[in-house]
Structures are given as structure tokens and as C-alpha cells.
Structure 1
Amino acid sequence: MPAGTLHVTGPGQLLTAEFFEPCDFIHFHVLSGYLRDRQNAAGVEPTKATSNPNDLIIRDPLADLLGRTLVEDNNTSDECYVDSVGQTLVMHIARMELSPPTTNVLPKWRLKRVQDYVEAHSDKALTLADLAAVAGLSRMYFAGQFRAATGLRPHDYLLHQRIERAKSILLGTDMGLAEVALTVGFQAQSHFSTVFKRLTGQSPARWRLVVRSERQIPAAPVSREEPGRPQSATCSPSWSGV
């Protein structure tokens, strides 16, 4: 996003960002209904895009100017000035005549290239730039078209694919959780467990135990030493994270 970009999300909407270079950005948290109140006060009829904004992206010179006065002049500690800037921005958005943005759907052949690439490189730390390059589009165009085609942001799609692959490994092997995490592209077991529980409602270890029990999948046999015959060392499965 270039300087002066406003990104408006609705209540409860998860916001994720990927930074490729140092930048300044400002978050304004606006009470629910405040935008509608400002529209009523200004006598403006709300459009579909401004009555319930969600993922509304606007390039605006006034937003750029107001943001710079906060960042460059170190006015962020002046609460009265910050409130004034926030109110001005909300009123500015309220008075805009906006139409809902339209985004082209990512063509099926580009989508398949991306999906095949993700499947072949699921153990790698893939970025938005990597996937956009595979699709042959800029990051901005790719992200919008991919979401229009799948209903998911590229990052969310990656997480879902990693978790689905992790499920297969958890059911088919006794691989430890830390190794599963690395195998499907997570850098740490803790992050893997957090995402897994968020998407499935259970920790990886608990999910493995419950699903195996429901499907009556036996655990891998445990090797036992016979008297007088040395055996190679074995490691029990890691069940941390329950």
C-alpha cells in the first residue's frame, strides 16, 4: 500500500499484515455506529460501502497529510490532536461517495499453479510475494483475485493447507509434534499448536488421540528388548501440547 492509503475493516474482522520494508502506520479504533452517527450529522445518505465498511481500501491525499502531521511532528502523544485527526478522518470517510470495490476472480489456470506450488513447497516459509510471482501478478492484484476465487486470503489458505497436511501425518504416523510442525512449514511447535487449535478446536495431540480412537486406528507397536539381545534405541512419540 502506498502512502496515504486508508484500510477500513468492520467490527471483529481479523486484520493481518506483511511488511517488506520499514514504514509508518497508524491504527484508529472507532466505536461501532460512530461512522453512521457522523453520516447522520452531515446529512449524508450512507452507501453500501460506507454503511458497513469491511476491507474498504482508499487512496486519499487528506489521509496522507493528516497521518504525516502525527508521525513527522511527533504529535501522537497529544491526545486532543489525535482525537481531532481521528474525527476528521471518520467524517471525511462518511462524506465520501463510494461504490463497493469489484475484484476480478483469479483465473483457474493461475489458481491451479498456485495450489500446486503450495502443495509442493508446503514445508517452506512461503510469502505473498512467492505466490504472486507463481501467479504472474503483483502482490496487490494477486491477493484480491485469490480471495475472490477462494474466499480466503493467501495467508489463511496456506495455514489451512498446512493443517490439512498435518492431520494426515498425525493419523498416519507417530511423528512427534515438533517434527510435524517443521514438516508442514511452521517454524515452531507452539505456533503450529496455536493455529491447529484455532482451526480445529483441539490441540494436535488431543485431535490425534480422539480421531484415532473414533476410527479405531491402532498406535504403532512399541519395540521391546529381548533378553540377551541389544536393541537400537527408540523414542516414544511426543505428546506435548495437550
Structure 2
Amino acid sequence: MTDFNIDAPREGAVFRAGEWRDVRGATGGLARVLVARWTDAAVTEAVDVSHAGHDGLHCVALTLRGASVRFVSNGQVVCDGRVPAGMIQITAPGTPVSATFHTAYDVLHLFVPQGVLAKCYEARFGQPHDGPIVLDDPRAFADPTVERLAQALALAHANDATVSHMFCESVTTAIVARLVAQHFSQSIMARIMSGKSPSSSPSRQLSPLPQWRLRRAIEFIDAHLSRPLTLEEIARSVGLTRMYFAAQFRRATGVRPQEFVQRRRVELAQEILRREQCSVLDVAMHCGFRSQAHFTTVFKRFVGRPPLVWRNSAVTAS
């Protein structure tokens, strides 16, 4: 992502935070997403910051430039080292966090009230969520769609510190909607793989793929990751047409079948990279990628780092 320089802010939808994760006294009753920019391009010594957590607000951190940082959430180290631009980290309400920045940093913080999460959930799944929504996975991850949206917001703010509330609300709503859909899709998949029924999030227009068909499709995908897979093949394995299967699969998981297949290929590649000393090309071929370049591109999109960089960090961590 591009690094942006900003002057002292004027009043607008995005404000430059004077303190880390500062929301200017906003409470959990906030009706819209509040956006703060935490940035310093001239760090000469380590910057230690901490926050006790916001009551009723999720904090979504979007990294605009790479930085060396140690981040701790609720007493657990989430990352300690170089964090590339484009990484995302979500802190649930009331979660104490701290960080030490060793280099220059530029981060957008989105403070998301429960009402916005609820609207995004209902728009995605066609019915209200039962109870408060909590996105409680503190691990950092990458998402190219969210990265581009964050970049657009940062660029607009760099060009005009008084960027309109309408533009800001549109972009932040798109980001939150994406994160909500991903969170619940992953929760559904975890339940299915553990033999439980998926949580109820059906659309009124089309029912999700039945659990038995979904499990069979996943088993078929996992058994054939080493070769090219077509949508027709997967649909045929569960006795459905290509279009109907794709629609029901997306209703059940929140992602397109092709995206799910790529994710499973990357997960398999991570297992091989972690336990075996084979070349990146061999891993790419074993996991069904058409070339090493294609594998590297897809791997970085899902994981946030190239395969070799990820392998080295995984080996060091173990």
C-alpha cells in the first residue's frame, strides 16, 4: 500500500488521533462507525501504548504501512515483528490491549458499534442475529478487498482531511460488512467440520446447501486438491447443477466455491511448508497451482506474506 503524509487535520469524518485508540469520549451508543488515524512517520525510539478496551465498540485496526510492532491482546502476544501493510486486527469490546511500535506507523482504527454490526449481519443473512455480535478472534489477517477499501479511505483523507461523512460511512460499512460475512462464514465451517449443524443464517430467497451435501463437497475438494478442480465436478459430486450448487454453497459458507477451493489449497500448502523441506515449486504443484508465481500470489492474498517468508517465520515460532 502507498504511504500517505497528512497535515494537521481539519474537522471531518476521519480524525487524527492524539492518543492510541482514542474515540474522543464516544460511547457504545454511537450510531455510526468512527474512524481515527494513528500515525507517526518519524519514530526515533520505541512507542509504548495501551488501552483497557472500549465498552460496546469493536476496534478494527487497518495497517496502512508496514511497521515493526509487538501487539498484545488480553495478555496474549498476537504479533511480535514486522507487520506488513494491509494487515487487519479486530479487538472485541472490553478487551485490554497494548502495543510497542519500533518504527514509523500509520494505522486506521474503525470503532464499530453494535448497531452497525447488526445491520450488516441482517443484510448479509436475511434475518437478525440472535443476541449481541462479537468478533472475538484477535489474530491478524489479510484481506485484499478490505485493504483496497482502507487504501481508498486513507487516500481520500490525505487529499482532503475534511472527507465527507457520506463517503466515509459508505466505505466503512463495506469494510464491516465484509468482516461480518467472513467471521460467520468461518464459524459455520468450523461447526460443519466438527460434525455440528451450521448456525442459522439462511436467505429467504434460497436455502443454504444442506449439511450432508456440504460435507460431501468439502471431502471431494480435499481429496482432489493436487489437481485442477472445476465447479461442474464439485457440483456433480453432490448431485446438483453447477449454478444451483454455487448459489447454495455461497449461502451456506459466505464464500464462492472457487474461493473456498483456493483457501483449502493454501491451508494444505501451509501444512507442507511447516513440516517438510521441499521447494516452493514442489509445494505449488502438489497443491494444484498452475505455477509457482500463481501460488505465491494466491498464498500472499490469503496469508499476507509470500510462502518462503511465512515458512521462515513459522519455523522460528516453533
Q: Using structure 1 for the length normalisation, give the TM-score.
A: 0.47
Higher helix share: 1
Which protein shows a greater Rg? 1
Q: Using structure 2 for the length normalisation, give the TM-score.
A: 0.36
Higher strand share: 2
